[in-house]
Amino acid sequence: MALRIAGETIYVPDLTALTQGAVSRLIDEGSVSGRIVIHRAMLQLLEYNASKGRVIGYAGLEELRRLRQYNDTGIIKLEFAGERLRGFIEDEEQLVGEVNSLIREYAYSVNGVLITGNELQYQVAKSMGIQVVLVKDKERGRLGFEKYFSENTMSVHLKEGVVPVAKIGRPGEWKFVKLSDTPLTRQEIEQMANEIIEATRSRSDAFIEIDRAGSTIVQLGAYRIVITRPPLSDGWEITAVRPLKKLRLEDYNLPPELVKRLNERAEGILIAGAPGMGKTTFAQALAEYYMRMNRVVKTIESPRDMILPPDITQYSKHYADTGELHDILLLSRPDYTVFDEMRNDEDFKLFADLRLAGIGMIGVVHATTPIDAIQRFIGRVELGMIPSIIDTVIFIKNGQIDKVYEVKMTVKLPTGLREAELSRPVIEVKDFLTGELEYEIYTFGEQTIVVPVKKLRGKQGIHEKIIEEIGKIMPEVDVRMENGDIVITLSRQDLKKYNRRIKRLRKLEEKYNIPVRVKVEE
């Protein structure tokens, strides 16, 4: 235990105080001076997190480095005290709770001042009669990476040993621009990463969504930030993405028929498109639109990068398992749930379960074509359930709606088949605005078939072309199309007349892969 000098104040920071950079900030402000004691169990916790490659560990150790500099210049006296944890706890929440408890007990035993950024830690310390300082959110300053953003910057890409670059423009019309001629150093990237983590720990509009060995995903205000480091990547890298513009649904100038469908019938909506095309921006506008219609709206996101009013509750997929989210949404019964960035089997299963339970669902998926979005469900759910789960597909390209599909189930003979007994349940995918049938999905044997009907119908032109060529080979004969085949009707007299030309019909058959039959009338 540290010996106390009369009149001297001993400050004992906890984990949040170090990872937020709060202690050095209080020293710079003149609010803290004298002796600062770091509990060895917390040093052990920081070392553990750093060994796992987590930014929280690096941020805490960076703060200790700053405190050591203050100690070396005589501004403060830095000491380490307390016992290390003997039996290490595997559960991380339990581990942090145990370290917090040890730090409180130590501060109580030396009559010291606990420094924390955690409201719960503050309340527990107050109840124990411990002197405690709760670090408030610091005034938001411009962080290092933000200097690379301009009004039209979509994303910034920073990597050690490489010059900083940015995507400037808008979805579908952007260009890569070098922001400097000088490559960034590892120290500069690490400093920016630590700034981001410190800001995240101290701001109410920021979250560390995922912190793994080698990568950290952060939502900081409007910025979605991905930090990667060795050994996952070959060097430290920061990618920051920011939405250029927040739109209302009215800004998309939707056709009245689509607005009516969104108001009255669409309850299983897929928003699809390639990365960076504006899917999340449209989903955000649709969520706000339903909120303004007095509907209860919630979201499932990872990271929580939608900028939405407080009326809409945003759930993080990372902080809850599928079962927990399923229970919460089933019991709270929102009118609509926006599921952003559906990726794995669990995501699609959760979307399907909630939709079949009667909750309006809006899913966001990556897809290069509109039909790809529907195909993402094939194999994950029963084929016949797809129209009950998805009724509307909205494909976004270059920030605008490029295609809208309507999904329905019917029983019919699939296009291209000729035998009436082959009729079966068929999922029809139609262009919503024109009503034109574009795709059919059905099972044939054990296979699921996705048929581009428009292309099949294009073969009708091939039939006409064959009939035209047959007319040149055999003038004045009866040629017609029956069940997809070309049928030539000849009399016995005509058969003798055109006998040598029948070989040319076989060449047409091979060329176009369309059956040509000759029928002889008596």
What is the SS3 assignment for 88? Answer: coil
Q: Could you say which DSSP state residue 294 is in?
A: T
Q: Residue with structure tokens 């939709």?
A: 355
CA distances from 355 to 266, 407, 418, 456 (A): 12, 15, 36, 33
Q: Which residue has the higher pLDDT, 477 or 70?
A: 70
- Binned at pLDDT 50, 70 and 90, residue 140 comes out as low
- pLDDT of 263 strictly over 50: yes
* Cα gap 166→148, rounded to integer Å: 8
Mean pLDDT computed over 175-204? 85
Cβ atoms of 59 and 19 closer than 8 Å: yes
Q: Where are the domains of the chain?
A: 10-134, 146-241, 249-445, 456-520
The reported pLDDT for the residue numbered 1 is: 47
Q: What are the φ/ψ torsions at residue 10 (nearest 5 degrees)?
A: -105, 125
- pLDDT of 20 strictly over 80: no
What's the pTM?
0.67
Secondary structure of 173-234 in HEC code, one letter for each residue: EEEEEECCCCCECHHHHHHHHHHHHHHHHHCCCEEEEEEECCEEEEEECCEEEEEECCCCCC
The reported pLDDT for the residue numbered 117 is: 82
**CA nearest to 155, candidates 240, 237, 224, 238:** 240
* Cα gap 175→180, rounded to integer Å: 15
The reported pLDDT for the residue numbered 401 is: 94
**What is the percent of the chain with per-residue pLDDT over 90, rounded to a whole number?**
48
Can you name the CATH fold of 249-445? Rossmann fold (3.40.50)
Mean pLDDT computed over 338-357? 93
- pLDDT of 485 strictly over 50: yes
* Cα gap 85→123, rounded to integer Å: 24
| 477, 478, 479, 484: CA torsion to nearest 10 | -150
H or E element at residue 406: strand 400-412
The reported pLDDT for the residue numbered 95 is: 84
- pLDDT of 159 strictly over 80: yes
The token pair at 412 is 């019919």
**CA nearest to 136, candidates 254, 252, 294, 25:** 25
- pLDDT of 227 strictly over 50: yes
The reported pLDDT for the residue numbered 17 is: 87
Amino acid identity at 39: H
Sign of CA dihedral 463, 468, 472, 477: positive
Q: Which residue has the higher pLDDT, 367 or 22?
A: 367
Residue 180: CB atoms within 10 A of its CB come to 10
- pLDDT of 353 strictly over 90: yes
Cβ atoms of 305 and 350 closer than 8 Å: no
What is the SS3 assignment for 13? Answer: strand
The DSSP bridge partners found for residue 363 are 270, 339
Equal fold, 146-241 vs 249-445: no
The reported pLDDT for the residue numbered 96 is: 84
The reported pLDDT for the residue numbered 286 is: 96
Pick the CATH number of 456-520 from 3.40.50, 3.30.70, 3.30.1340, 3.60.70: 3.30.1340
| Beta-sheet strands, E only, within 459-522 | 478-482, 485-491, 516-521
Mean pLDDT computed over 432-459? 81
- pLDDT of 137 strictly over 70: no
The reported pLDDT for the residue numbered 62 is: 86
* Cα gap 86→306, rounded to integer Å: 43
Mean pLDDT computed over 388-402? 94
Mean pLDDT computed over 309-336? 91
| 378, 379, 383, 387: CA torsion to nearest 10 | -40
Alpha helices, H only, 265-377: 279-292, 322-332, 345-356, 370-375
* Cα gap 150→166, rounded to integer Å: 10
The token pair at 59 is 């941020």
pLDDT tens figures, 69-115: 999 999 999 999 998 887 767 677 788 888 989 999 999 999 999 99
Can you name the CATH fold of 10-134? Rossmann fold (3.40.50)
- pLDDT of 3 strictly over 70: no
The reported pLDDT for the residue numbered 483 is: 62
Sign of CA dihedral 261, 264, 269, 271: positive
* Cα gap 236→234, rounded to integer Å: 7
* Cα gap 406→427, rounded to integer Å: 10
Mean pLDDT computed over 313-336? 91
- pLDDT of 155 strictly over 60: yes
Cβ atoms of 193 and 55 closer than 8 Å: yes
Cβ atoms of 312 and 299 closer than 8 Å: yes
The set of residues, in sequence order, having a beta carbon less than 8 Å from that of 214 and lying 6+ positions away, is 53, 228, 229, 230, 231, 232, 233
Mean pLDDT of the chain: 86
Lowest mean pLDDT among 168-177, 238-247, 329-338, 498-507: 498-507
Of 247-251, 389-393, 437-441, 496-500, which has the strongest mean pLDDT?
Answer: 389-393
The reported pLDDT for the residue numbered 453 is: 84
Mean pLDDT computed over 450-462? 66
Of 7-16, 191-200, 263-272, 410-419, which has the strongest mean pLDDT?
Answer: 263-272
The reported pLDDT for the residue numbered 481 is: 67
Q: Which residue has the higher pLDDT, 124 or 209?
A: 124
What is the SS3 assignment for 106? Answer: helix
**106: exposed, middle or buried (C-beta count within 10 Å: 0-12, 13-18, 19+)?**
buried
**CA nearest to 273, candidates 407, 372, 145, 173:** 372
Q: Which residue has the higher pLDDT, 282 or 444?
A: 282
Q: What angle do CA 232, 234, 236 make, to 5 degrees?
A: 85
- Binned at pLDDT 50, 70 and 90, residue 441 comes out as very high
- CATH classification code of 146-241: 3.30.450
